[in-house]
Structure formats: structure tokens, C-alpha cells
Structure 1
Amino acid sequence: MALIDSWREDVALLAPAAPSEELLTVGTDLLRRWGEPHRRYHTTTHLAEMLSALREIEQAGELAAREAALARVAAWFHDAVYAVLDPGDVPHLGDPAPAAVSTPGHDAPPNHGAPVDTHGTAPRPDTHPDPIAPVDTPPREPRPGPGDNEEASARLAVHSLTGNGFRDADIGVVASLIRASERHELTSPGGPEAAFHDADLWILAAPSDRFDEYCTEVREEFAVVPDAAYRMGRSAVLRPFLDRDHVYATHLGRAEWEPRARVNLARELARLG
């Protein structure tokens, strides 16, 4: 199924009386955002993989159809605003970590002075337009700062869905799922929160060639970070997953994905040294 057809199907289920052309415009803008040139991992491939993982969890009986559709709509928005580092924002290894730098990606660990995460940190504040504005709107405010990608994406979802036939409660669920993706804290098994957590982390359990490609893509997104700083920061992001009792929150994730995820994580941590 084409991505835009998946979008049409889910929004039709959630908002059957909504103006279809307006929601198609929203979906088209989201595809544009996912195709921004600074992205390497956070592209439509990641979106498609996440949607597929959510369908797999739904087919396993862990999500009702409406819950799954809400989670998939949240997936469209969850990295719609994605800022990465400008060279001028990168401290040298050994410098004190700037107060604004954090690691809000895949379960943010304590900051160790390396500005590395899997979702990115902000460029300098005078170079990017309002992330919620249409493409042709003049710049009005800075792009999100470190740890703000998820918040800005959640605000984009609320802005885009309000007045387009979505229930207020559903918009709240979508925004909540997006915000929860900042830290990937484990939830109780079951429900949209657990499914969304696991689908976003499906890549950790990908076949080894796809996982290795993902690792390369993340490095490319942070090409401006020196190797030593990258290895330290990236290890700090990934190691906590192996320290947990479980990487995943759903029954499917724990049974089907977790063993491969642990092998992949161990391999990458060994490479990082």
C-alpha cells in the first residue's frame, strides 16, 4: 500500500465526516517533511517500517482497529519536525556539555558531554522557519531546540487535525503518543502507548543488514560530530536498552523482536568500542 493511501485509510476511519481534500493536503505536507534533504534515517523508510510494525501488532490482537489507526496517524507526525546539528553547535570532545544539548532520542540516558542522539538537536536559531507554518510562509520563529522535536511535532499534529473532523480526545491521544517518543520509557504491555513505543523501536530488531544500514544512516545525520564524541554519545543512547529487563513493551515485541534486537545492539556497541 502506498503511504498516502495508508494515510487516507486511517484518517477516513477516524474522521469519516472530515473534508477529505484538506486531510489529503495534510498528508501531502507530511510526506514533504519526511523527504527533507538533511534526513538520512528519519525518512519515509522509517515511517513505512513503523506503520508496518503497528499493523503487525494489530494483527497479533494487541490493538483494536481504531487504536491502531490512531497510532499510525501519530506515527506520521512523530518525526515530522526533525532538526539536526549545525557544525557551529558541536562542542569539541572534552568541552563541557552545553546546557541546551540533550539526548532525547531512543531512551535518553544521562548526557556525557557528547551531543548525540537518534532524533537530533537543533540548528542555530536564526536559520530555519517556523516548523508548523506552510512551506511558503516567511520565517517567524526559531526551529525547535534540543529535545523539542517531539514537542514541535505534537503541536503540528494538534494544529493540523483540529477542525478537520477529529475528536478532541483522539487528537489528545495522538499528541500524547508523539511526546512519549522523546524518551521511550517502557509502559505496561498492551494499548496504543506500548504499541507505539515498540513500533518506533522496531529498527533495533531489523535483519542485520537493515540494522547496519540504520546505524550508518544515523551516523550520517550526525556527520558533523567528531568520531570520539559520536561513539561516546551513541553508546550512551543504546546501552540502556541492554540493561533493561525488556527492550519492548508488547507481547509480540518481547516474543518476536527482542532476541534479535539484543544481538544487534550488542554488535553495534562492540563496534562503537
Structure 2
Amino acid sequence: MTIYIDPPVWPAHGTVFSHVISDESLEELHAFARGAGIRARAFDRDHYDVPAQRVQDLVRQGAVPVSGHDVARILAASGLRVKARDRPEKLRGSLLRRWRAMAGPGRNDAAGDAWEAVGQDLVQRWSEPHRHYHALPHLLSVLRVSHALAQAGELRGAPYRPVALAAWFHDAVYAGNAGQDEQQSAHLAQQQLDGLLPDDEVEEVARLVRGTATHSPWEGDAAGAVLTDADLEVLARPAHEYLRYAAQVRADYAHVGEQDFIRGRAAVLRTLMAAPRLFHTHTGELQWDAAARKNISAELKDLEVRGRH
């Protein structure tokens, strides 16, 4: 793992700035920044912005100077790069349009205002600063993948809206407490959707949210299978994207010590690997299972190495 810095050529605040990046780990990047006295507010999703007067000092502390082109290339190869379209300021509007589309026609002003307020609250929750993986890009991904699975016929006649709503609520409460977060998110769905949707639909949304705690839908639960597969599809991404996901998960658990995290994360991954099925839709099993198991195996090996240090 290496920290890189490019030349200070980016103008702002009366000076010019450099980018400081890692080639592998946000955790490593944050640790370097803390040790070097770089302020947390200088972090911008996948890099730190540092003023010109800090560059030589940071090089002395171990940052490797490279060109701006090389920083972009290294960041892209690492899987840590956040594309412009995935930055929160771009995603909020897109997600709110999706939320409004679920309201359906014919709502009176009061109901429309209430629906809008719920959507705004959810976007704020998903934008909380302590979130790294469980943030707006993950929400959008689950919505997109679940919709694609629905379009492929995986819902087998079940309605899509409860699945989409469950995607919105499934990590709406996120404090890093497995099981509790899902229960509290389900309770939030019941509270916020009460009076806006039929009772049976609200209960279905809450049931689906609770199911994301185990990712083990019962046989014949097409809606549960679609939601859990959409939630786990990230496991089957190309290697560089999986590395980014793993780094973001570690950042989500920054409050947990390294060895405790390694033990906990490895236990989660081994449980997934031991499951008879990682994915519960035909599409997921056919398209994602092999790649996901390969990625998980690679991460387990990495955790084993890190656990020895």
C-alpha cells in the first residue's frame, strides 16, 4: 500500500492544491492523514486536498510524488475513485425523482407534501457523514438492480413498489449495529408510511427490510429474493469495484479496532460462503454466484494476512 501526491496545480482559496490518495485503502489514506495532521474536512470522497505549502512535508512523511495523470490512473485502478455521477450532489436529485415517481397519480396536496417530506428525510439519512458504503450510491444501486431483476420476471407477479420502498428503508437507520439497524429501519418504515399507503403494503415493506438482516428469504418469497440479491450484487462486481466496496465497509466501521474488524468481517464472509445459495433469484445465481465467491475468497485471504500483523 502506497500514498501518492500530485503537483499543486489546482487553484482555490488564494493558493493551489495537491491531491493525496492511496492505491488500495481508504483506511490507510485516513491513517496517513491523521498522522500528518491533515484536517478531516480536507477529505473529498476519494482523496485529500492539501495546499502547496504542505507538499514537501508530506513527501518527507512518505507520500510518493507522481503526476496528476498518474494520480487519476492509480485512483481508477484502485477501485476507490468516486465518479462524478456518483457524488452526492448528483445523486440526490436523481433519487428524489425516483421517490416522487412512486407516489402515483391523484394524491391531494397534503398527501403529496407528506410523501415529499418522507423522501427528503430518507435522502438526508442516506447522506449522513459517517456513511461510506451504506450511502446514496448503494441505495441507487439496490434500486437499479432490483428493478432490473423485476424486469427479468424474478418477482413472479409480486408488485415491485414494496421492494423499491424496502430498498429505500433497508439501511435508513445505520449505526453499524447488525440486526438492530434493520429492525429500527423497519420500524421507521412503519412510522413514516403509516397513512400514506395501505396497511398491508406498509407491513410488506417492513417485512422485506427486516429480511435484509440475514439475506435468507424463504422459498417462494420472490420479493425477498429480489431485494436481498440486489443488496448483495456488489459481491460480484469486478475486482477493482469489489476492493472499493471492501474499503468503504472498513470505513463504515472505523470505530472498530483492526483486529476486531478482521474477526467480525471474516465471520460474515465465511457465513456467506457456507450458505447453500448466495443469491436466491435465477438471474443472481446464474450471473453473480461464481464471481462473488471468487471475490469473497480473495478478501478472506487478505484478512488472514492482515490478521497476522
TM over 0.5: yes
Q: How much does 1:147 deviate?
A: 2.8
Identity rate of aligned residues, in percent?
37
Please state whether the residue corresponding to 1:201 is helix, strand or coil.
Answer: helix
Please state whether the residue corresponding to 1:67 is helix, strand or coil.
Answer: coil
The RMSD of aligned alpha carbons is: 1.8
Alignment match of 1:257 (pick from 258, 280, 288): 288
Partner Cα separation in structure 1 for residue 103 and residue 288 of structure 2:
28
1:39 aligns with 2:70: no
Alignment match of 2:245 (pick from 211, 214, 221): 214
Mapping 1:190-201, distance limit 5 Å: 191-201=222-232
Partner Cα separation in structure 2 for residue 187 and residue 255 of structure 1:
19
The 8 Å contact of residues 149 and 226 in structure 2, kept in 1 or not, is answered as yes
Alignment match of 2:195 (pick from 154, 163, 169): 163
The 8 Å contact of residues 242 and 262 in structure 1, kept in 2 or not, is answered as yes
Please state whether the residue corresponding to 1:80 is helix, strand or coil.
Answer: coil
Deviating above 6 A after TM superposition, structure 1's stretches of 4 or more consecutive aligned residues are none
Alignment match of 1:51 (pick from 121, 135, 143): 143
The 8 Å contact of residues 190 and 249 in structure 1, kept in 2 or not, is answered as no
Deviations 1:153-209 (A, max 9, x none): 111111111112x11110010000011111222432561011111111111112222
- Identify if the C-alpha distance between structure 1 residues 65 and 29 changes in structure 2 by more than 3 Å, giving closer, same or farther: farther
Read off the aligned partner of 2:127 and give its amino acid letter.
G
Choose 1 or 2 for highest CA Rg: 2
Mapping 1:18-167, distance limit 5 Å: 19-63=111-155, 67-83=159-175, 120-121=176-177, 147-164=179-196, 166-167=197-198
Partner Cα separation in structure 1 for residue 138 and residue 190 of structure 2:
22
Deviations 1:82-132 (A, max 9, x none): 11xxxxxxxxxxxxxxxxxxxxxxxxxxxxxxxxxxxx12xxxxxxxxxxx
The 8 Å contact of residues 122 and 172 in structure 2, kept in 1 or not, is answered as yes
Read off the aligned partner of 1:69 and give its amino acid letter.
R
Higher share of residues assigned strand:
2
The equivalent residue for 1:172 is: 203
The 8 Å contact of residues 189 and 251 in structure 1, kept in 2 or not, is answered as no
1:181 aligns with 2:181: no
Partner Cα separation in structure 2 for residue 260 and residue 190 of structure 1:
24
Partner Cα separation in structure 1 for residue 298 and residue 158 of structure 2:
37
Partner Cα separation in structure 1 for residue 163 and residue 252 of structure 2:
26
Partner Cα separation in structure 2 for residue 21 and residue 64 of structure 1:
33
Deviations 1:51-103 (A, max 9, x none): 011011011111268622210111101111111xxxxxxxxxxxxxxxxxxxx
Partner Cα separation in structure 2 for residue 151 and residue 66 of structure 1:
23
Partner Cα separation in structure 1 for residue 95 and residue 157 of structure 2:
18
Q: TM-score, normalised by structure 1?
A: 0.72
Q: TM-score, normalised by structure 2?
A: 0.64
The equivalent residue for 1:203 is: 234
- Identify if the C-alpha distance between structure 1 residues 47 and 65 changes in structure 2 by more than 3 Å, giving closer, same or farther: farther
Alignment match of 2:104 (pick from 2, 6, 12): 12
Unmatched runs of 5 consecutive residues or more in structure 1:
84-119, 122-145
Higher share of residues assigned helix:
2
Partner Cα separation in structure 2 for residue 218 and residue 230 of structure 1:
10
- Identify if the C-alpha distance between structure 1 residues 152 and 191 changes in structure 2 by more than 3 Å, giving closer, same or farther: same
When the two structures are aligned, how many residues end up with a matched partner?
Answer: 210
Partner Cα separation in structure 1 for residue 218 and residue 244 of structure 2:
28
- Identify if the C-alpha distance between structure 1 residues 10 and 65 changes in structure 2 by more than 3 Å, giving closer, same or farther: farther
The equivalent residue for 1:137 is: none
Partner Cα separation in structure 2 for residue 269 and residue 150 of structure 1:
25
Read off the aligned partner of 1:42 and give its amino acid letter.
H
Please state whether the residue corresponding to 2:103 is helix, strand or coil.
Answer: helix
The 8 Å contact of residues 186 and 248 in structure 1, kept in 2 or not, is answered as no
